[in-house]
Amino acid sequence: MTHHRPSYVIFDVGNVLVHIDPGAFLRTLSIDTPENRAYYQPEIIDIVKRYERGDDSTECFFVNLDMLFNQNVRNAHRHHGGKEYFSPSEFRDAMLSIVGAPVEGMEEIVRRVGASVPLGLLSNTNPVHFEYCLQTFGVLRNISSHFLSYQLKMLKPEPEIFARIIKQISVPPEQILFIDDLAENVQAARTAGFIAHQFVGTKNIEQHFSDLKLI
């Protein structure tokens, strides 16, 4: 499909600009076993989703992790390698370990695209992760508009989050290009009228931007 040149480009963060590995959470706590993954991952996903939607504060988020991990240890339902307690700082370190290195080549691509059109971020994220990423990765500081799930109190791929962006930036959706690594988010953006492209690597996205005369 051929599209006209967009007038606004919005990037996802995780696995588009910065590598994300959710499995690092249990590995960092040194309790990454098949049994623990099966037990904890659904619970962690639920806790993180509430945090990323803005339903829970950071304090409440860490309380929820404490309840999940520390209240069950003495009952020996899970194998924690003999460890009886995880501190808030250990939970924070485990959370930050999920964030990896920048996606190679994307900072330069973002800089080049930003010389042509305004840029934004749209991310399902939380205060712990985003504040760390903003301090650590220059590519995020080169993007002026940040649409963050915990501030908007909604998550991709909910239709409302795309409607909110259209209203905030006052740009018609057919002039907005959205880049995300997850097919469900790309499809939701297309349903909202955006031009959307699934990120599969820097070479592919660089060619896509070139085809659209953005670089």
Q: Which of 71, 97, 123 is the last residue in one of the domains?
A: 97
- Write down the mean pLDDT value for the chain: 94
User: How do residues 68-122 score in pLDDT, each as one tens digit?
Assistant: 999 865 545 556 665 778 999 999 999 999 999 999 999 999 999 999 999 999 9
What does the DSSP 8-state code read for residue 18? E
pLDDT for 73 equals: 54
Is 175 among the domain residues? yes
* Enclosing domain of residue 135: 8-19+101-211
Same-domain check for residues 79 and 161: no
With respect to residue 13, please indicate whether it lies within any of the assigned structural domains.
yes
- Of 39-53, 66-80, 181-195, which range is least confident? 66-80
User: pLDDT-derived band of residue 174, with 50, 70 and 90 as boundaries?
Assistant: very high
**Residue 2 domain flag:** no
Distance CA 151, CA 39 (A): 30
Predicted confidence (pLDDT) per residue in 32-42, tens digit: 999 999 999 99
Q: What is the pTM for the complete model shown?
A: 0.92
Confirm whether 45 is domain-assigned: yes
Confidence at residue 79, expressed as pLDDT on a 0 to 100 scale: 61
Domain for residue 1, yes or no? no
CATH number at residue 207: 3.40.50.1000
d(CA 12, CA 22): 16
Task: Tell me how far the alpha carbon of residue 174 is from its chain's centroid.
Answer: 24
Question: Which pLDDT score is estimated for 82?
Answer: 58
